[in-house]
Amino acid sequence: MKKLAILGVSILALINLSFAEVKKIELPYFNWKMKETPGKQEFEMYCLMCHSPGYVFDQSEGKTGKHLWRHVVYQMIEEFKAPIPKEEAEKIIKYLEENYSNTKKGY
């Protein structure tokens, strides 16, 4: 009896799914032109897997960049467990410090 009840509920769930409406969502595309300097590849590989460039760069707006980037990158590693090796983290920090510090957006 229990198996029959489970089968009935499963069939009803499948019937409901067959009537589900599929909606198409279009997100805006932004062509971020990032600076072509050393560290860009590491930034793209490790940071852009979770964040858009705009999100990252807007975080520094109005803040002191040099200290901000070291703090942010290591916060991602230590608190949020971002899989960034220390050597790569230092390259990312240098890239961000040199190109996107003190409200210099450059994109």
List, for the chain, all residue ranges whose pLDDT scores fall below the cut of 70. Answer: 7-10, 12-14, 16-20, 27, 29, 59-65, 102-107
Q: Is 106 exposed, middle or buried (0-12, 13-18, 19+ CB in 10 A)?
A: exposed
- As for how many domains the chain has, the answer is 1
Helix spans in the chain (H):
2-18, 40-46, 53-59, 65-78, 86-99
| pLDDT, position 82 | 96
User: pTM for this structure?
Assistant: 0.66
Give the pLDDT score at 73.
94
pLDDT at site 1: 72
* Domain containing residue 53: CATH number: 1.10.760.10
Q: So what's the pLDDT on residue 4?
A: 72
pLDDT in tens, 52-69: 888 887 766 656 567 789
The residue segments making up the domain with residue 81 are 2-99
Return the pLDDT at 68.
85
Closest CA to 96 of 105, 84, 85, 86: 105
Q: Is residue 105 part of a domain?
A: no
Nearest of 61, 98, 92, 94 to residue 77 by alpha carbon: 92
Identify each DSSP E strand in 1-107 by its residue range.
Answer: none
Q: What is the pLDDT of residues 4-16, one digit of tens each?
A: 777 666 676 667 6
The rounded distance, in Å, linking the Cα atoms of 91 and 100 is 14
User: What is the gyration radius of the CA atoms in the chain, in angstroms?
Assistant: 22
Is residue 12 included in any domain, yes or no?
yes
pLDDT at 101: 78
User: In the prediction, which pLDDT does 87 show?
Assistant: 97
The answer to whether residue 37 sits within a structural domain is yes
